[in-house]
Structure 1
Amino acid sequence: MEDYPESYELVFQAPAVEDDVVIVRRTERAGAGGYPVYEDESGIVRAEISDRGEVRMLASGGHQMLKTPMLARPLTP
């Protein structure tokens, strides 16, 4: 999984003036599609991100209402 970015900004459309941005970092896990799983510092926001930047949000607990981000931006070190 070395060819994948270490972290991404996930941009979610928010009803407020500014969009919500969550930074997620690559974990050692892979999702059902075989792509790396990324998560935020709290471990609540989790996503499998493909090599084409496609995002599949993953539940980290019960009763979550998962929203797909508008954009996943890779962050450069």
Structure 2
Amino acid sequence: MSVRRYELTFPGTDGTGQDTVVVERTELSGPGGHPVYADASGIVRAEISDQDEVRMLASGGQQALAHPTGARRLPDS
């Protein structure tokens, strides 16, 4: 069974704490053949394997990609 939503955790922009982003599964597949997940804005995009391995995907030409420190499966709501 595929996971519909993940919560990705990133280092806080101020160097302390953490920022979280919820991403939902899209109909797309990434370069590794795994599902692509995106946040509501479409800016944060990630390919996530069935082993919860995350590969961040650029949504624009000048985007600097940050790697999440964690990926947590969320229950379907």
Normalising by structure 2, report the TM-score: 0.92
Task: Identify the residue that residue 9 of structure 2 maps to in structure 1.
Answer: 11
- Segments of 5+ residues of structure 2 without an aligned counterpart are none
RMSD: 1.0
One-letter identity of the residue aligned with 2:9: V
Could you list the structure 1 runs, at least 4 aligned residues long, displaced by more than 2 angstroms after superposition. Answer: 15-18
Aligned residues: 75
Distance 1:75 1:65 in 2: 26
Cα distance per residue 1:52-73 (max 9 Å; x no partner): 1100000000110001100000
Normalising by structure 1, report the TM-score: 0.92
Distance 2:36 2:43 in 1: 12
- Segments of 5+ residues of structure 1 without an aligned counterpart are none
The alpha carbon displacement at 1:4 in A equals 1.7
